[in-house]
Structures are given as C-alpha cells and as structure tokens.
C-alpha cells in the first residue's frame, strides 16, 4: 500500500475508533480509558493474533538467529527511524541532544554500515528516545483517552499521531514496496522478539492482562516524556491519603 | 554569649542533627537494598543447586526483613483495604509475600555475570529513593529504583520501579480491577494460582 494511502487509512481508523468507541464507553471505569469496552475487544483481537502467529514466529526467529545478528537488525531499524528522534529533539527545544543525535545518525549511517553497528555509542553519542507523542506531552498535552489500535497495540489520542509522523520521517517509506514490505516483516518480527521478555513478565504476573498492559504503557510513556524523571504516576484518584501519595509519586 | 548567638547555636545544632540523621537514613536505606541485592545474587549464583523451592526458602526471610508488606498490601488493594477484616488482611499479606518470593525465585533463576550497582540515595517527600542498576553482559542495563519508608525506625522497601514502571502502581491497578469485578476472594484465589503457576513452570 502506498504510504499516503496507508496514512489515510490509519487516520480514518483512529477517527472510526473514536466514533465506535464513543458508543461503548464505560462511565464507571478508569477515567483515562473511556473506550475500555472497545479497547478490550481490540486487545483480545490483537492478543489472539499475537499468540497464534506473531509469538511463535518471533520465538522461531530468536532460535535460528544469533544474538549479534538480531542486535544488528535492531540497530538498523532504530537508525533508519532516527530522523524522527532528531525532528522531535528540535520540536522539544533540546539543542544539545539535537546535535548529538544528528552526529549519532551520521556516524552510524556511515561508519556503522548503514546503522547495523553502533560505533556512535562508543564515541559518547548515546541513543535517545523521542517521538511526536512525547513532544505533545512536553508541550503540555495530556494523555487523552487510552486506545488499543488493531495490529499495533496500546496508544492514546496524544500518542497515535506519532505513528504517522514516524512513518513519514522514515526513509524506507519512500522506497519501492518490493523492498519495504519484506523489510517491514523483518522489523515487525524483530520488534516482537525484543518484547518477548516483557510479555513473559505480563503472562506470569498479570491477573487482568488488559489493565496490566494499560498501566505499564502509561507509566512507560510518562517516564519517557520526562526523560526518566517523571513527577508522579497520576494515581491521585485512587489514593487513600498523603502517605500513599508520597510513595507512588516518588520522583 | 548573647541570647541571639545562643539561638543561632541551637538552630545550627538542630540543623546539624537533622542533616546527620538524614544522611544516616540514606545510608540505612542503601544498606537495606544492598542486603536484598546480595541475597538475590547469592540465590542467582546457586540457582541450580537450590532449585525453585530452595530459592523461595532462601529469599523468604530476606524479603520479610527488607520489605514492608503491610504497607504494600494496603496500597495495592486501594480503597478496598478498608473493607477487609483482620483475617482477610492477614490472608492477603501471606499470599502476597509468598507470591513475591515465588516471583523473584522464578525470575532470578541463574547467573550470567550480572552486577548490581547502587547509584545513590535521596530523600523524597518523606520517603527515600535508592537508585540502582543491574548491569548485564549481553543485554541492556535495567534500572531498579527502590522506594523505602520509615517503619518504626526501620527503613523498608515499599516499591520497586523497574525501567520507570512502578511495581506497586501496576499491581494496584491490576488487583483493584479484579476486586471490583470479581471480589476479594477471587483476587486471593488468582494470586494463589499464580504461585502454583510459578511452581509448575520451574
């Protein structure tokens, strides 16, 4: 699918999701998740595809691919998507990080053989994690309603447009689909493989996996928006007293 | 000595004592976390010879000593804690403690050169945050931040934040969702089921 069409579809999907979910809102549930009923259905749909298809493929990939090769694959896709990080450095006004990330991209794209290796790290140019959703967060936007996107997973009204921005800023988007489609498949399998440890923890620990994933997602996003120093976890509604609040809102 | 200078001296002494006790609390908290880490490391290095139940038995006492399970239980059950009687509270704390030991015994089931480093400690809103990192040979480091609370003069762990995800907040959301939809007894049954699950898979 050409990228413009793909983006239009995604935008339409998000709008439709909002409309459909509006009918299925749960007034007594989590205030940040007004579309929980629909989100749960999408979660279950994604989960069944994941368990029946993506997880077995990812495990197979891990079994047959040596760790250094998988690291190379991860490095390649991180690097090719790094323009998105650089653009968001700029949008967030992080000048030093912008320069460092630009240097990192140039070094890894050249000396790092198209991004497969990470010599920039040895040079002190460490990787950063920025995207449009984080930029909106830095600008003061709230999370908006929590969303589960079919085939993509957890997101929110604040974070979902970031998918579009990341696609537009990824050079692979502009190549012939004969190249991008197989690369997209490898990327998806590799991303899933990198998440196996996290989903194992979810499977072992979670009583209600949907709630578990939602809270983990929210906290991770908050952690990233504040670059590792979030002011709190926004659980004030649940708290019994200041004593609990101080423990949960530790940063 | 004028009255002003006496007041100044007293104020300085009070500030010094507060500073000294603050520093003492930070050290005490770091010691608690490091003790827990030392035990984890020992269990990891002897993982095979201990087996799963041996690891649980080795971790049980150190968890009881370094974690404040009463406070943790109160927080993870949220507003429902008030509705539980003493027996239910004791039952929940027991099952939660056993689940914690089973979880650590399952996840820390071997040693491949991991190093636990304490990065520092700071006072935050009356609690103490001890920042640590697990450095792994073949993988990205994991940051583990511990929140400790003063419990009758003893600093105990009440929360562990792994790479920014607070264990207490996750459990609070997960557990209160189950209590709300299925009730407290179902929560205890499900947690016991998790412990059995760990035993079977190890």
pLDDT digits (tens, 9 = 90+) for A2-11: 444 443 434 4
Nearby residues of B102 by Cβ (< 8 Å), 6 or more positions away: B56, B194, B195, B198, B199
Per-residue pLDDT for A22 more than 50?
Answer: no
Alpha helices in A123-160 (DSSP H): 132-138
Token pair belonging to A117:
């290796």
Interface touch B74/A240, C-beta < 8 Å: yes
In chain A, how many domains are there?
A: 1
Taking CB atoms and an 8 Å cutoff, what residues of chain B touch A204? Answer: 103, 106, 194, 197-198, 201
Residue percentage of chain A with pLDDT more than 90: 74
Contact status of B25 with chain A (Cβ, < 8 Å): no
B-contacting residues in A 153-212 (Cβ below 8 Å): 201, 204-208, 211-212
Contact A196, A67 (CB under 8 A): no
How would you write the pLDDT of chain B (202 residues) with one tens digit per residue? 566 676 676 666 666 655 566 788 999 999 999 999 999 999 999 999 999 999 999 999 999 999 999 999 999 998 899 999 999 999 999 999 999 999 999 999 999 999 999 999 998 878 899 999 999 887 788 999 999 999 888 999 999 999 888 999 899 999 999 999 999 999 999 999 999 999 998 8
Query: Could you report the per-residue pLDDT of A153-196, keeping only the tens digit for each?
Result: 999 999 999 999 999 999 999 999 999 999 999 999 999 999 99
Torsions phi, psi of A126, nearest 5?
Answer: -75, 160
Q: Where are the beta strands (DSSP E) in chain B?
A: 115-124, 127-135, 142-151, 154-162, 165-166
Tell me, what's the pLDDT at B153? Answer: 86
Minimal Cα–Cα distance from B198 to chain A, Å?
8
Please state the ipTM of this predicted complex: 0.81
Tell me, what's the pLDDT at A71? Answer: 95
Tell me what the pLDDT averaged over chain A comes to: 85
Query: Could you report the per-residue pLDDT of A111-132, keeping only the tens digit for each?
Result: 999 999 999 999 999 999 999 9
Q: Pick the residue from chain A with its C-alpha nearest to B197.
A: A204
Q: Chain A to chain B, count of Cβ pairs less than 8 Å apart?
A: 98
Tell me, what's the pLDDT at B125? Answer: 77
pLDDT average, residue stretch A52-79: 97
Tell me, what's the pLDDT at A12? Answer: 43
Tell me, what's the pLDDT at A130? Answer: 97
Does residue B1 fall inside a structural domain? no
Contact status of B169 with chain A (Cβ, < 8 Å): yes
Does residue B11 fall inside a structural domain? no
Range scoring the smallest mean pLDDT among A104-108, A233-237, A240-244:
A233-237
Does residue B8 fall inside a structural domain? no
Greatest pairwise CA separation for chain B in angstroms: 75
Q: Pick the residue from chain A with its C-alpha nearest to B147.
A: A247
Interface touch B172/A230, C-beta < 8 Å: no
Per-residue pLDDT for A58 more than 80?
Answer: yes
Residue B135 sits in a domain whose CATH number is: 3.10.450.710
Domain of residue A26: give its range.
Answer: 3-250
In chain B, how many domains are there?
A: 1
Nearby residues of A41 by Cβ (< 8 Å), 6 or more positions away: none
Strands B165-166 and B127-135: unpaired
Domain of residue B122: give its range.
Answer: 28-201
A251: pLDDT confidence band, cut at 50, 70 and 90?
low
């Amino acid at each position: 699918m050409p990228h413009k069409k793909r983006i239009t579809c995604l935008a339409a999907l998000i709008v439709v999701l909002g409309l459909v979910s509006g009918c299925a809102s749960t007034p007594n549930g989590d205030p940040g998740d007004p579309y929980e009923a629909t989100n749960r259905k999408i979660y279950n749909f994604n989960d069944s595809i994941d368990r029946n298809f993506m997880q077995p493929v990812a495990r197979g990939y891990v079994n047959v691919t040596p760790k250094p090769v998988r690291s190379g694959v991860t490095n390649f896709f991180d690097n090719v998507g790094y323009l998105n990080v650089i653009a968001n450095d700029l949008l967030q006004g992080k000048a030093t990080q912008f320069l460092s990330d630009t240097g990192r991209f140039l070094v890894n794209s050249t000396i790092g053989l198209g991004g497969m290796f990470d010599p920039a790290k040895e040079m002190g140019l460490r990787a950063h994690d920025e995207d449009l959703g984080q930029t909106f967060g830095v600008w003061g936007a709230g999370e908006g309603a929590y969303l589960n996107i079919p085939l993509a997973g957890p997101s929110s009204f604040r974070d979902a447009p970031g998918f579009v921005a990341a696609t537009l800023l990824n050079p692979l988007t502009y190549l012939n689909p004969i190249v991008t489609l197989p690369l997209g498949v490898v990327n998806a399998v590799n991303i899933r493989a990198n998440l196996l440890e996290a989903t194992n923890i979810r499977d072992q620990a979670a009583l209600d996996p949907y709630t578990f994933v939602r809270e983990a997602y929210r906290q991770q996003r908050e952690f990233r928006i504040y670059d590792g120093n979030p002011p709190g976890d926004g659980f004030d509604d649940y708290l019994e007293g200041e004593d609990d609040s101080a423990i949960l809102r530790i940063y | 000595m004028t009255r002003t200078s006496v007041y100044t001296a007293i104020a300085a002494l009070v500030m010094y004592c507060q500073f000294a006790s603050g520093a003492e609390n930070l050290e005490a908290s770091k010691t608690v976390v490091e003790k827990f880490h030392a035990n984890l490391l020992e269990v990891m290095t002897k993982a095979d010879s201990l087996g799963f139940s041996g690891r649980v038995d080795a971790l049980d006492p150190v968890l009881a000593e370094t974690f404040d399970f009463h406070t943790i239980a109160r927080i993870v059950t949220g507003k429902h804690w008030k509705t539980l009687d003493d027996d239910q509270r004791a039952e929940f704390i027991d099952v939660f403690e056993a689940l914690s030991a089973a979880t650590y015994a399952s996840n820390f089931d071997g040693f491949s050169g991991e190093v636990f480093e304490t990065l520092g400690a700071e006072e935050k809103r009356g609690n103490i945050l001890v920042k640590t990192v697990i450095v792994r040979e073949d993988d990205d480091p994991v940051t583990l931040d511990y929140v400790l609370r003063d419990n009758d003069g003893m600093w105990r762990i009440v929360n562990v934040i792994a790479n920014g995800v607070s264990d207490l907040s996750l459990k609070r959301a997960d557990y209160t969702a189950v209590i709300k939809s299925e009730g407290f007894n179902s929560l205890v049954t499900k947690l016991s089921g998790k412990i059995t699950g760990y035993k079977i898979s190890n």
